[in-house]
Amino acid sequence: MVKLLKTIFLWDLLQGLWVTFRNQNPKYICTEQYPSERPKVAERYRGAPRLNINPENGETLCIACNLCALACPENLIVVGSARNEETRRKELSYFTYDTSRCMFCGLCEDACPVDALELTQDFELASYTRDGAIWDRQMLEEGPKPSKYLS
């Protein structure tokens, strides 16, 4: 009898609708208004790469050891070095990083002995063209120009 009444009055459907109704509570709203409100990504987030510079004298931290290039599964890092004739030390001459092929696995970051290469929290890497996907040393040191979605 109870079962019949439950069937007639669509009890099972009402039960489901009640769940939906309970979830109307503004407490459960979790939409992010993305371009106007930036989400805060985790501290360890693996995003856009950066080549750190020594904040005191503005010199690069990279010692041109080539370990990151060897660690990368995609072989997308190219490190160029030249011997400085005065100090007899190897110095970084150029550094390119192809963000279009990178899968942000973090192996290069782990390999770097002096923490010069770092994957940062910047996540807005999408672009309409492939131009500029290969980052040179200057771009890696300064970081990407923040894109503006809302004026």
Under the binding rule (CB under 6 A), the answer on residue 107 touching ligand SF4 is yes
- In the complex, minimum distance from the CB of residue 40 to ligand SF4, in angstroms, rounded to a whole number: 22
28 binds, among ligand SF4, another protein, none (CB under 5 to 8 A by kind): another protein
User: Smaller CB distance to another protein: residue 23 or 127?
Assistant: 23
Buried b (16+ CB within 10 A) or exposed e, 3-15: eeeeeeeeeeeee
Q: Which one of the spans 9-17, 30-38, 98-106, 137-145 is the region binding ligand SF4 (CB under 6 A)? A: 98-106
Query: Site for ligand SF4 (CB under 6 A): how many residues?
Result: 26
Cβ atoms of residues 48 and 125 within 8 Å: yes
Under the binding rule (CB under 8 A), the answer on residue 27 touching another protein is no
> Burial level of 111, CB count in 10 A (0-12/13-18/19+)?
middle
110 binds, among another protein, ligand SF4, none (CB under 5 to 8 A by kind): another protein
Show the CA angle centred on residue 61, arms to residues 39 and 122, nearest 5°: 10
What gap in Å lies between CA 17 and CA 139, rounded to an integer? 53
SS3 content of the chain, % helix, strand, coil (to 5): 25, 20, 55
What gap in Å lies between CA 117 and CA 137, rounded to an integer? 11
Q: Contact letters (x/-) for ligand SF4, 16-55, by CB under 6 A?
A: ----------------------------------------
The secondary element (H helix, E strand) that includes residue 7 is helix 2-8
Pick one of 13, 25, 130, 131: the residue that binds another protein (CB under 8 A).
13
Pick one of 35, 80, 106, 132: the residue that binds another protein (CB under 8 A).
106
- In the complex, minimum distance from the CB of residue 147 to ligand SF4, in angstroms, rounded to a whole number: 21
